Amino acid sequence: MSTRVNEGGEVAAFRNVSKSYGRVKAVNGLDLVLRPGETVALLGPNGAGKSSSLDLLLGLREPDQGSVSLFGGTPRAAIEAGRVGAMLQSGGLMGDVKVRELVKFACAIHPRAHRVEDVLRSAGIAEIADRKADKLSGGQEQRVRFALAIAGANDLIVLDEPTTGMDVTVRRQFWATMRAQADAGRTVLFATHYLEEADSIADRVLVLHKGRLIADGTSAEIKAKAGGRRITFELHSSDGVVDEAALRALPGTVSLDVTGHAEGLRTVRIRSMDADAGVAALYKAGFYPHGLEVTSLGLEQAFLTITGEADDEDRGAEGSEGSATENRDAEERAL
């Protein structure tokens, strides 16, 4: 199961793709290219368009605008050729069927099938191969779905929330298997709510928000985009007042949070684009911080920051549109 795939070229491409369901625009002008050997995490809050994007990629839905291609052709052609394996959230397993029979069937219909025993072993389900699907735990069901996705020598593996229900040990084994797939030149695209998985596993992170791609890069680049370091310390204030204006004026400051504390202490958290200059200026401004720490912004904090800023931009745009509408109405009334 370690045969290398052909390298070079595009694995998948979205070209100005949009998809709406009624008034809801699930995917909005998406441009994206995936290449061989990448392990790509797809992140976004609920309703961001992750599952809709995967449905379009797999040919389960047709775009209203733009085009989606796999290996230079249509999604359907790539899937029929056995180049794509998928593990989706939707769809159940046939309950009164043994796990081995399910895997055997998946291998039988795959154009480039692996041996059944190899698939069972790679998915970590050999020990439950003779158990019926309706007798499995949630985590075991996920591993069976994964086995069905890797029943053949796919060039692209698409996973939607793959480790839901798995315990920590099984999740670690799962991602070791996926890393081996990527090392063999396969492309792995996975949507997840576990941001620590994206941080530690993915070569590339994509962040969707309201159907738009708002960030694309390595985990480190995503963190840097959000303002990559946090300065935390405590200040003693006998009267409970902290000069927040002076703190906001520190070089590199992006955001400031001051919270109350017992015995006149205030905890200060600063997100900074230039933490070194900010700390130096902190002392020059006459502050005397206690317990000062400078840490990198985690992917979770970066994700929340980036999506929060996108929300703010959307609200600002809506406000501008509202103001423009009000101005037009006023002009019409004046006429």
Q: What are the residue ranges in the chain where pLDDT is below 50?
A: 2-6, 323-335
Q: Are residues 68 and 132 in the same domain?
A: yes
How many structural domains does the chain have?
Answer: 2
151 and 285 share one domain = no
The dihedral built from the CA positions of residue 274, 276, 278 and 284, taken in this order, carries a sign that is negative
Tell me the longest C-alpha to C-alpha distance in the chain.
80
35 and 168, same domain (yes or no): yes
| 39 and 138 assigned to the same domain | yes
Write down which residue in 154, 182, 217 finishes a domain. Answer: 217
Residue 192 and residue 290 in one domain: no
Is residue 316, in this structure, part of any structural domain at all? no
CATH of the domain at 256: 3.30.70.3100
List, in sequence order, the alpha helices (H) in the chain: 50-57, 75-80, 99-109, 116-122, 138-149, 168-183, 195-201, 219-225, 244-248, 275-284, 299-334
Asked if 82 and 146 sit in the same domain, the reply is yes
- Position 222 scores a pLDDT of 87
Where in the sequence is the domain holding 178, given as residue range(s)? 12-217
Residue 308 covered by a domain: no
> Which pLDDT belongs to residue 72?
94
Do residue 68 and residue 211 come from a single domain?
yes
Residue 64 domain flag: yes
Residue 262 has what pLDDT?
Answer: 59
Residue with tokens 């996973």: 159
CATH code (residue 125): 3.40.50.300
pTM metric for this prediction: 0.77
Q: Is residue 321 part of a domain?
A: no
Look at residue 171 in the predicted model and tell me its pLDDT: 87
